[in-house]
Structure 1
Amino acid sequence: MLSIKSLDEIVIMKEAGKILSFIRKELLKFLKVGISTFDLDMIAFDLMKKNGVISAFKGYQGFGGYICISVNEAVVHGLPSKTRILKLGDIVTLDIGIKHKGYCVDSAWTYSLGSVS
């Protein structure tokens, strides 16, 4: 079933997308060799709080993180971990989902730390 959105709803969805984009760009400043995926998750949580949104993932079907962080062989929905420290050559996917004024937005981006072959 197709749902036609009002102009007000479209404005809210655009706001949500802009907030998510901002959070992702800010989080990238911390995506470096030596950081744990847990620390990235906590930074994402702080950015969500500062921007008045909540995680779409935290607690969903028992998921423990605010964002999903998949490293190398993890296909999707990786759990943040204090022991998973990023290193040179890692391929990292940041999957961020937020709730804003009744709407959910989600995006996933993949990055490499240094050169990969």
Structure 2
Amino acid sequence: MGSERITLLSTREIEKMRRAGRLAAQLLDYLAPMIQPGISTLELNDAAEGWTQEQGAKSAPLGYNGFPKSICTSINEVICHGIPNAKQILKEGDIINLDVTPILNGYHGDTSRTFFVGTPSPKAKKLVEVTEECLRRGIAEVKPGAKIGDIGAAIQEYAESNGFSVVRDFVGHGISNIFHTAPQVPHYGRRGKGKRLRKGMVFTIEPMINEGTWEAELLEDGWTAITKDGKLSAQFEHTLAVTDEGVEILTSRDR
């Protein structure tokens, strides 16, 4: 996951992260209307790649450790890192997470949302809503002096109180002009544990919440992670900066 040393970003660097983050939010807004039954995940990927290039940016996932596409498209039981392809067609009732990371002027904006394809089942709707609330609750813990464990504890408590589970195998991460760096940010844990948050730290919170067991399996492609029991998984992600007052969401859509 990169070096263990946590880099504190300068005001100037955070402004660059803000611009990249804004672009990431705009990319998800651009893709959102296309998420309809009948579209392939490859079409979503190609639309994302074209739009990203038009903005003078590039797609961080493309070629990252051999990842073959520009975005991750994770449908239903796929937890994360789903690879877009032409044969994978969205159908009524699916849920899909789009995870995008444009690089603008060397800095990364990393965000994801889970979308409904048509009308979701009541269970899928609840899972997605709880997952988004998990992200909000994790973000609410971020301020100077807090501990990384506070974030995971808030997420785990809310997810499990709703009958869902928190994925352990994938975590949030530091991010800057490097895609993945310290600190790691688990979405489960105990309050008061882990590294202390300081102004200038920038990292993602990206809870993956499962309908059934938290356990994951990796497919033969070496990327696609699915739920061990084949039940649904949802995810939401923002990139954040720790500020004097608390937290700034760098990938917020309402800038």
For Structure 1 versus Structure 2, the TM-score category normalised by the shorter chain is: over 0.9
Alpha-carbon offset, residue 111 of structure 1: 1.2
String of CA shifts for 1:26-79, please: whole Å, max 9, x gaps: 110111111000000000001101111111101111111100000111111000
Q: Which residue of the other structure, out of 15, 19, 22, is the alignment partner of 1:18? A: 22
* Aligned mates of 1:42, 1:116 — CA distance in 2: 29
- Secondary structure at the counterpart of residue 34 of structure 2: coil
1:97 maps to 2:101? yes
Alpha-carbon offset, residue 101 of structure 1: 1.5
Structure 2: runs of 5+ lacking an equivalent? 123-255
* Aligned mates of 1:32, 1:109 — CA distance in 2: 15
- Secondary structure at the counterpart of residue 114 of structure 2: strand
Map residues 1-117 of structure 1 onto 2, 5 A cutoff: 1-113=5-117, 114-117=119-122
Alpha-carbon offset, residue 3 of structure 1: 2.6
Alpha-carbon offset, residue 6 of structure 1: 2.5
Of Structure 1 and Structure 2, which has the larger fraction of its residues in helix?
Answer: 1
* Aligned mates of 1:27, 1:36 — CA distance in 2: 12
Structure 1: runs of 5+ lacking an equivalent? none
Alpha-carbon offset, residue 10 of structure 1: 1.6
Structure 1 stretches of at least 4 aligned residues deviating more than 4 Å after TM superposition:
none
Structure ID, larger Rg: 2
* Aligned mates of 2:114, 2:72 — CA distance in 1: 12
* Aligned mates of 1:72, 1:36 — CA distance in 2: 15
Matched to 1:14, the amino acid is R
Q: Percent identity?
A: 34
What is the RMSD computed on CA atoms of the aligned residues? 1.1
Q: How many residues align?
A: 117
* Aligned mates of 1:42, 1:32 — CA distance in 2: 16
Q: TM-score when scaled to structure 1?
A: 0.93
* Aligned mates of 1:75, 1:5 — CA distance in 2: 30
Q: TM-score when scaled to structure 2?
A: 0.44
* Aligned mates of 1:59, 1:98 — CA distance in 2: 13
Asked whether the 8 Å contact 2:72–2:83 carries over to 1, the reply is yes
Higher relative contact order (CA 8 A, sep 6+): 1
Asked whether the 8 Å contact 2:21–2:108 carries over to 1, the reply is no
* Aligned mates of 1:83, 1:53 — CA distance in 2: 28
